[in-house]
Structures are given as C-alpha cells and as structure tokens.
C-alpha cells in the first residue's frame, strides 16, 4: 500500500464496514473526517482510560492486546465502552491484511459490547511490522473505582482461572513444530485455545459486587510480577503458597520443554484480587462459572514471600528486559 493516510475508499470498505456494534451511550464515533469520539456518562459516573501498544505478528497478538486494555479497565472497576485505535502499517502490507486486523478486533469487542470509536490508520516505512496503539475508554460509578492500592494486612489473596494462559497459547501457536516433537497435537490445540480465557471482565464485575479491596490483571512479568506490584502499591507484605497458584498441565509441559518459569510468564486472562473474605469471593466467582483460589494473605510487614514447603523465596521487582514469554526469552 502507498505511504501516507489510507484512501477514503479503502477506509470505507476495509475498516468502517467491519464495525457493526453501536452503543446507545456513544454520541460520536468512527467516520470520515471525525477526529474524536464522545460518549455519555451519568452524573454519578467517571470516565476511565487505559492504553497499550502491540507489535502485530498475527491475530493472537491483536487479540491479546485488545483484552489487555479492556482488562485494565475491568480491574479498575470500570465498564468498558470502546476502543480508539492508531495503526502504523508498513508499505508491504496488503489491504486484505488490514481488513483482517480490523475484523479480528471487532470480533473480540462485539461480544463484550465494546464499540470501536475511531482512531488513525497510516502506512509508513518507519515501521517494519504493524504497530497498533490501543486506547480503551470506559466508565465507572463514582466511589466504585478499584485500584492496586487497596489491599490491607489480613486480606486474602485470590487468583482467577490459571496463570500463564497468554504465554502458553502463544508458544503453542508459534513453536508448534518444535513442540510436536514431544507432545501430541491435541495438547497443543488445547493450549492454543487458552485464548478463550483472555477476558477478565466477568470476574472483575463479580469481584466488585463481592466487596473486593484491590484488583490487578496479571500480564507481563507473570504472577510473581503482579504479586509484587499489588503489594508495593498497597504497602503490604505477602505470604503466598506456591502450590496453591493454579496452573494448567499444558502450561507445565510447554514450560518444561523450553525451560521457562511459568510464574514469570505473560498471564493475560488471570486476575489477582485482595479481599477481606477470600473464600466468599471464590464462592461468588464459582457461582458465575469462574474458577478461582485463595493463594495466600497480605501481611503487615514488607516481606513478600513465596512459600514452597520448607523453602521461602522473596519476591523482587520486575526487572527490565522481561518478555511476555518469560525472562529474556526471545521468539
């Protein structure tokens, strides 16, 4: 495609035609010449915003980026409303590829009642691969925002679903041929289907109703990174039982193959929670069909400890260079 702004005819047939969802609270959305979007909030509501970029290798990257942004809103106690997309595309890209990218994003958003509000699309030789910056907007009731700063000593620490879902799905897809040398095809198929669990919107909504004190979605740096960030933000210590952290067997097998630590892998789809009554929260989530488990407690000191039988390991801040797949593991 030619460098510069996308032609109006291409915008109409390959972008706007792929956007079907229209929310009643969206007042201004994507269209020719529209450079902003607007949505209505009630007097007792506030607007909530999150943003993250993605280097687009395939549809799984885009899917993960969409949910990472929407999960940020959900973990903040907000209802996602829409996405703004800025796409920088290399000249080698074909219109059909761009259309597929938009279709994939729209297909992920529509079941969640999230509207594509607008954005900007441009072809430039400044990038070698598509780079898409996603800004997610939502709304929450005043006084109902949830942050990572709310955990208190004595709170139960709860994790939903399973850790390392994102990295497991990506590795099962991108390294399939290597993995097939050891594992059956059905195991890798099951692992790749972990992408169905990427959204934490349902569990976040349940947790807010259940009286959760703090929420944090588990992404880059894995469960260990998320635990540190929640404790640091809240000014509490932690005592976590390693064997209580939920993990799928597919993840265990794939991590063993690549000699990766699953507790430091990208875990989009898992939500970390602090609640005064973790068992009640787990029961509330179970009633909604969402698996969750209490993995430990917040403490009054500054020690953040992971306990594995007689061994005690101190958590550390996430260091520079950590990749979504694991500690400096490149694909």
For the ranges 71-85, 129-143, 317-331, the lowest mean pLDDT is seen at 317-331
Separation between Cα atoms, residue 103 and residue 120, nearest integer Å: 16
Residue written as token pair 């992920």: 108
pTM, rounded to two decimals? 0.87
Averaged pLDDT for residues 296-312: 95
**Of the options 3.90.1570.10, 3.90.650.10, 3.40.1180.10, 3.40.50.11440, the CATH number for the domain spanning 156-314:** 3.90.650.10
Q: What is the pLDDT of residues 90-144, one digit of tens each?
A: 999 999 999 999 999 999 999 999 999 998 899 999 999 999 999 999 999 998 8
Q: What is the pLDDT of residues 138-195, one digit of tens each?
A: 999 998 888 899 999 999 999 999 999 999 999 999 999 999 999 999 999 999 999 9
Percent of the chain with pLDDT over 70: 96
Provide the pLDDT for residue 331.
Answer: 32
Domains of the chain, by residue range, sit at 4-141, 156-314
Separation between Cα atoms, residue 128 and residue 233, nearest integer Å: 37
Provide the pLDDT for residue 326.
Answer: 39
- Reported as type and span, the H/E element at residue 65 is helix 59-75
Q: What is the DSSP letter of 243?
A: G
Give the CA count within 13 Å in the CB-facing half-sphere of 191: 28
Please tell me the CATH code under which domain 4-141 is placed: 3.30.1330.10
Q: Which residues have a Cβ under 8 Å from the Cβ of 259 and sit 6 or more positions away?
A: none
Residue 155 CA from chain centroid, whole number? 24
Helical H runs in the chain? 8-10, 59-75, 95-109, 165-174, 176-179, 185-192, 201-210, 222-234, 249-258, 278-287
φ and ψ at residue 236, rounded to 5 degrees: -125, 165
Provide the pLDDT for residue 242.
Answer: 97
Among candidate residues 308, 279, 316, 272, the one with its CA nearest the CA of residue 163: 272
Distances (CA, A) of 50 to 67, 133, 318: 11, 11, 21
Structure tokens, 61: 């990257």
Q: What is the pLDDT of residues 249-266, one digit of tens each?
A: 999 999 999 999 999 999
Is residue 330 very low, low, confident or very high in pLDDT (cuts 50, 70, 90)?
A: very low
Is 93:14 a contact under the CB 8 Å cutoff?
no
Averaged pLDDT for residues 218-225: 92
Q: Residue 247 above 70 pLDDT?
A: yes
Q: Residue 327 above 60 pLDDT?
A: no
Structure tokens, 307: 């306990």
Provide the pLDDT for residue 19.
Answer: 82
Provide the pLDDT for residue 317.
Answer: 87
Averaged pLDDT for residues 43-52: 92
């Amino acid at each position: 495609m030619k460098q510069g702004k996308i032609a109006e005819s291409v915008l109409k047939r390959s972008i706007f035609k792929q956007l079907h969802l229209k929310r009643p609270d969206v007042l201004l959305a994507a269209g020719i010449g529209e450079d902003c979007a607007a949505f209505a909030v009630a007097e007792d509501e506030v607007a909530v915003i999150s943003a993250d970029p993605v280097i687009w290798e395939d549809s799984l990257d885009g899917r993960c980026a969409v949910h990472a942004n929407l999960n940020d809103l959900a973990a903040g106690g907000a209802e996602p409303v829409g996405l703004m997309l800025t796409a920088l595309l290399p000249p080698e890209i074909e219109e059909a590829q761009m259309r597929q990218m938009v279709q994939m994003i729209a297909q992920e958003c529509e079941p969640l009642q999230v509207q594509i509000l607008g954005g900007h699309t441009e072809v430039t030789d400044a990038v070698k691969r598509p780079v898409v910056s996603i800004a997610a907007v939502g709304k929450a009731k005043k006084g109902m925002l949830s942050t990572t700063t709310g955990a208190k000593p004595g709170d139960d620490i709860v994790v939903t679903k399973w850790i390392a879902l994102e990295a497991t799905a990506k590795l099962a897809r991108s390294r399939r041929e290597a993995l097939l040398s050891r594992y059956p095809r059905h195991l890798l198929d099951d692992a790749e289907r972990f992408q169905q669990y990427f959204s934490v919107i349902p569990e976040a909504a349940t947790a807010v109703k259940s009286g959760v004190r703090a929420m944090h979605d588990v992404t880059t740096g894995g469960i260990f990174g998320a635990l540190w960030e929640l404790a640091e933000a809240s000014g509490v210590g932690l005592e976590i039982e390693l064997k209580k952290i939920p993990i799928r067997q597919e993840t265990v097998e794939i991590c063993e193959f690549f000699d990766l630590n699953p507790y430091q892998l990208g875990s989009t789809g898992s939500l970390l929670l602090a609640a005064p009554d973790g068992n009640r929260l787990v029961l509330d989530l179970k009633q909604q069909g969402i698996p969750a488990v209490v993995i430990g407690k917040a403490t009054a000191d500054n020690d953040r400890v992971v306990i594995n039988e007689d061994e005690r390991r101190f958590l550390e801040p996430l260091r520079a260079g950590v990749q979504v797949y694991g500690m400096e593991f490149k694909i």
